[in-house]
Amino acid sequence: MRQKIIAGNWKMNTDLTYAQELVTNILSYTKINQSKVIFFPPFPFIQAVSALTTNEQNTFTGAQNISQFEKGAYTGEVNADMLCSVGVQYVLVGHSERREYFAEDDMILIQKIQRSLDEGLKVIFCCGESLDIRNSGQHESYVIHQIENVLGTLTSDSMNAISIAYEPIWAIGTGMTASPEQAQDMHAVIRKTIGKLFGEPISNQISILYGGSLKAGNAESLFSQNDIDGGLIGGASLLATEFSDIIQTMEKLLE
Ligand code: PGA
């Protein structure tokens, strides 16, 4: 069976006290038996969060960003070695907010993934279309290109360190979740694309998460879809009860 993943992308939210309480509460409310849970706190709180997750089963700490450079005179940047040294195991690459606000293009994303893989970090690669693209009916070819342009440059061997998050931009932070059918259709397209690039064993095994206004109330209908292997959750990951309910929903489906 494919690995199921529930990931919390905190974005630029929380402070140190809130971050520690959030993780402590979630871990006390949930029993994580079969899925993997990954917290993506802001950089300054990674070490504190990682100290809380390191001895917990199936629980990991990730970074929301990584430098494409190895080391040196890049003021303000954080490299792969630094992340590894504070207990990070996963990195987000290609989130639409980074593509849009920080001008991260395919070339930069490829470099970021390469740096992550070189240091043994696992990557959640994000893709997804804007509302304009969906309304024009080009959403499938757009997402296929996002996958081909970036993941298409990798070797088959490196694909076991990659998961994908499909996050339609129109659903991020808007309360407008993709319907389970819309999400399933795109996940199937993504899986087929991975199959074409790397073969069926890899496409059958890769975890594809849904992201975009995922919450406790819609988690079950989304997670029940054949090609949806979990979620990348923003807003709802900042509330301990809400995020715990999402984890429990996945755990129940796996029983
Ligand atoms: P959201 O964000 O759950 O708040 O829509 C998801 C994301 O951007 O990862």
* pLDDT higher than threshold 90 for residue 227: yes
- Residue to probe by mutation, ligand 1, list 167, 170, 246, most atoms within 8 Å of CB: 167
Q: Percent of the chain, pLDDT > 90?
A: 99
* pLDDT higher than threshold 90 for residue 1: no
pLDDT tens digits, one per residue of 119-129: 999 999 999 99
Q: pTM of the full predicted structure?
A: 0.98
pLDDT tens digits, one per residue of 142-177: 999 999 999 999 999 999 999 999 999 999 999 899
Question: Averaged over 215-244, what is the pLDDT?
Answer: 98
Question: Averaged over 177-195, what is the pLDDT?
Answer: 97
Pairing of strands 122-127, 90-93: parallel
Catalytic position from the list 97, 104, 119, 167: 167
- The identity of residue 114, as a single letter, is Q
pLDDT tens digits, one per residue of 57-74: 999 999 999 999 999 999
